[in-house]
Amino acid sequence: MALTDQARAPAPQPGSGFGVFSRVPGAWWATGFILLLMPLVAGNFWLFQVFGWSFCLGIIALSLMFLAGYGGMVSLVQMTVAVLAGYVVAILGNSGVEQISVGLSWWLYVPLAILIATGFATLVGALAVRTEGIYTIMITLAIASAFFYFTRQNYGIFNGYSGFNLVVPPRLFGVDWRQPTAFYYLSLGGAAVCYAAVVYVSRSPFGLALQGVRDNPRRMASLGFNVTAHRIAAYAFAGVVAAIGGILLVWQTSQVAPYSGGIAAVIDILIIAVVGGIRRPIGAFVGAFIFVLLSTFSPDVLSAFGLSNERFKLVIGVGFLVVVFFSPDGALGLWERWRARRRSAVDPLTGKAVAGGGP
Amino acid sequence: MSAAAGGISAADRLGSVTTGSALELRGVTKLFGALAAISDVTMTVAPGERRAVLGSNGAGKTTLFNCVTGDFLPTSGAIRLFGEDVTRFPAHERIRRGLRRTYQISLLFGGLSVADNVYLACRGVNRNRFSLLRPRPSDPLLTRAEELIEAVHLTQARARLVSELSYGQQRQLEIALALAGAPRLILFDEPAAGLSPTERAELVAILGNLPPHVGFIIIEHDMDVALRVATKVTMLHNGRVFKEGTPAEIEDDPEVQELYLGDGTHGHG
Ligand SMILES: Nc1ncnc2c1ncn2[C@@H]1O[C@H](COP(=O)(O)OP(=O)(O)O)[C@@H](O)[C@H]1O
Ligand SMILES: [Mg+2]
């Protein structure tokens, strides 16, 4: 319930701006508390490799969730936008490829990375919004592949096949932000800001209108909305989110190369968003966490069974199938149904199963 | 738009103030393949006028509305709205000029609450459609939305998801969406279809309570409703204007009686 209430409870009052804190359910406080104190109990591997990576992927998946869940547009270009932001950071900032990297300071290259990636996302949006459904998927996938091949062949700017390594966060306030605990907090902060922004915007006029466009574009036009402009603006907003995720991701992996935005990586983001539950922002992070756990630990489990640890993609693929088959609303949907069943067992009078996050 | 064209339309707008037409159709034709859903429709609706459009199923009534609102572009002909040539305008530009419509088959936002649906309608014809800031509780549009919800008797259901509403409630919400902002001309596409007699009476009351400067065109099979709320009637037949006159004239017209009223088996669509 705690997870669904966030999406549904404010619905009656589009105007409620204050009293935010009193409306946040207890489970959220608990989650926030646990996440903040995590470094006290978790080791470096967990902080950096599991949580840090989950937050980065979660932010990128969140940008897809925003487009797909609120706008009804399944864009496969979000990872590409993120990777472009990562490239800009490597090219304009510092990397191991000194003949290309410009070495600007972070307060220049971070905003520029967001700006350029968002510009690219907006451009893609302008191309993609005239299509619907499967065609949107196809055109964004085509753009993602084009970007992949372009970066692989372009040596002057993107350094071709090998890309950039040693891309690390700046030293700020005397903190090495790539140190596990510091990066944990950095990526947690980024995730929290993006999450809060998406939740907030979903109830703003722009966010509501986007959901209107998703449900019924023709009616939106006959209410006076410019549907095309709204869709493009959604790509731009999602582009900002994806760019933030991409910058954190390039700092986490310390490298960016064509395969960072390859077809496999692009599809991973879709899988993450769908597995977590594409209708609510938190689903992106749930999905990312599941994905990271599977890809981190299933190789060990698989090799214990004498299988090649390359097969972990198979595990993820089967998991994807199971989720799509049993719960179109992702892991969150499963969780809700379980809660609903438990509640109905407790109270048969009000045992009506709670619906998911809307249709 | 070129300067010359701009000048002409400005002049025409002035002209329209004197002639005072809210809607003017000149030879509007819409082809679907070889089928002429409407052909050569010419009609004028004055500001504040209440017009009923009658015609059997497939006569082209809904298509006529779609051409006026810009849901479809007409194949040929010209449409002027409050004196301005809007023939090639996208739907949202026409709506921003004071046109509204309801749909024969409800087109609502099933994933949003009633209050959100009406708020969106109010927002669509106002500024800051792209605002990323949530509306403040004092936002006049929120107050306006609440008034509209009350006007169509949906206050009880204001927080419910639209997909959970009954059919009748969805029809009422359709009307609320069309009343948002400052409408000058509203197109109602069979608003009474499927409503109970009580709901019909409510609908007639809502239409009767519209301010006098708000004109509307209503497509309605129920002659009781249509003739009670309209001051003028246009009959369509096979996509053409067949008769035009006052309700009394139309009711007494022998041709109309034969075609539409007489047999009593006219379809409800
Ligand atoms: N989108 C469309 N595509 C093809 N034919 C259509 C379309 N809309 C309406 N028609 C056809 O145009 C004619 C008029 O339809 P319509 O305007 O809906 O009639 P009415 O509303 O008077 O019942 C019908 O023959 C209908 O089949
Ligand atoms: Mg019709």
Task: Look at B135 and A14 and tell me if their CB atoms are within 8 Å.
Answer: yes
| B:98-117 residues touching chain A, CB 8 A cutoff | 100-101, 103, 107-113, 115-117
| Crossing angle of helices A106-128 and A78-92, rounded to 10° | 150
| Crossing angle of helices A263-276 and A134-153, rounded to 10° | 140
Cα angle A134-A136-A139, degrees, rounded to a multiple of 5: 110
Sign of CA dihedral A139, A55, A11, A27: positive
Distances (CA, A) of A357 to A5, A266, B170, B207: 9, 26, 20, 36
Q: Would an 8 Å CB–CB cutoff place B69 in contact with chain A? A: yes
| B:173-202 residues touching chain A, CB 8 A cutoff | 177, 180-181
| Ligand 1 pocket list (CB less than 6 A) | B 32, 35, 37, 55, 57-63, 269
CA–CA dist A220, A209 (Å, integer): 8
Ligand 2 geometric centre to CA of B192 (Å): 12
Closest CB from B136, B138, B177 relative to A223: B177
pLDDT beneath 70: ranges in chain A: 1-24, 308-311, 342-359
With b meaning 16 or more CB within 10 Å and e meaning fewer, what string describes A185-220? bbbbebbeebbebbbebbbbbbbbbbbbbbbbbebb
Model confidence, pTM: 0.84
Ligand 1 geometric centre to CA of B62 (Å): 7
- Give, as residue ranges, everything with CB less than 5 Å from ion ligand 2: B 62, 104
Residues of A near B (CB-CB distance < 8 A)? 11-18, 200-201, 203-209, 211-212, 214-216, 218-227, 229-230, 233, 237, 358-359
Among chain B residues, CA nearest to A212: B109
| Helix ranges restricted to H, chain B | 3-19, 61-69, 91-95, 114-124, 140-151, 167-179, 197-208, 223-229, 247-252, 254-256
The answer, yes or no, to whether ipTM is higher than 0.90 is no
Q: pLDDT, tens digit, for every residue of A153-165?
A: 988 888 888 889 8
Among A23, A223, A225, A230, which would you mutate to test the B interface (most chain B Cβ atoms within 10 Å of its Cβ)? A223
Q: Does domain A2-312 have CATH number 1.10.3660?
A: no
Nearest CA to ligand 1 atom 27: B58
Ordered by start, the domain boundaries in chain A are: 2-312
Mean pLDDT by 10 residues, chain B (269 residues): 43 50 94 93 94 92 95 94 93 94 89 91 85 85 90 90 90 91 92 87 88 93 81 92 89 80 47
pLDDT for res A347? 45
CA–CA dist A143, A77 (Å, integer): 7
